[in-house]
Amino acid sequence: MFRCGIAYPRCRWIMPLLLLFAIIFDIIAIAATSGWVEDENAKSHYASMWEECRGRNDQWDCRSLMEFSWAQAVAALMIIGLLILILAFIVSILAMCKITPSLMTLTAVLLIIVVIIQIIALIIYPVKFNELIFEGNYYYTWAYGFGWGATIISIGCAILFCCLPAYEDHLQGNGKVKYIYSSA
């Protein structure tokens, strides 16, 4: 997979660590109350995954976005994606402890499902927001970016978990050492 002396047994715990970061990013994106979107000019309108607020300073008029079916779908997809991501994290730890190719493949499949679910949610939100609530220029904030960050990390981990079963011997420390330089 990687040449030039990477130590597979020592580096195998990077994958579950990356999944832990994806879980943290997802939790930040779902729990963010400061908004996924805010207006450009006066900072008088913002919307999170759960609600939208209008106003200024300390006088905000907030209403729940959960009355819209698209917002319910986004919330459900993000939460389901988070739960599957947590399951993939647990399976990845088991896969790395026992070095089982079938568990690595299962982790990759779970991550692919997470990626599909979260991409759908992260595309529905801006499309429907622009369609129903849009009234000027808006910026997508860091909280929305954390949702994409978790999805991108999941894509990378899914690809790597698909490749890892081919390097089972190296992960267990049984692989033949390959030297870059050999004397003749």
9-172 CATH pick, 3.40.50.720, 3.40.47.10, 1.20.140.150, 3.30.450.30: 1.20.140.150
Which has the higher per-residue pLDDT, 20 or 5?
20
- Residue 2: what pLDDT? 43
Q: What is the pLDDT of residues 109-135, one digit of tens each?
A: 999 999 999 999 999 988 888 887 767
Beta-carbon contacts of residue 126 (< 8 Å; ≥ 6 apart) = 37, 140
Q: What is the pLDDT of residues 141-179, one digit of tens each?
A: 888 899 999 999 999 989 888 876 655 555 555 556 665
- Residue 76: what pLDDT? 95
In percent, the amount of the chain with pLDDT more than 90 equals: 35
In percent, the amount of the chain with pLDDT more than 70 equals: 79
pTM beyond 0.85 = no
Token pair, residue 171, equals: 């992960």
| Average of per-residue pLDDT values in the chain | 81
pLDDT at 82 exceeding the cut of 70: yes
Which has the higher per-residue pLDDT, 69 or 48?
69
For residues 76 and 67, what is the distance between their CA atoms, to the nearest angstrom?
Answer: 13
Beta-strand ranges (E) seen in the chain are: 37-39, 45-47, 51-56, 59-64, 138-140
Are 93 and 16 in contact by the 8 Å Cβ rule? The answer is yes
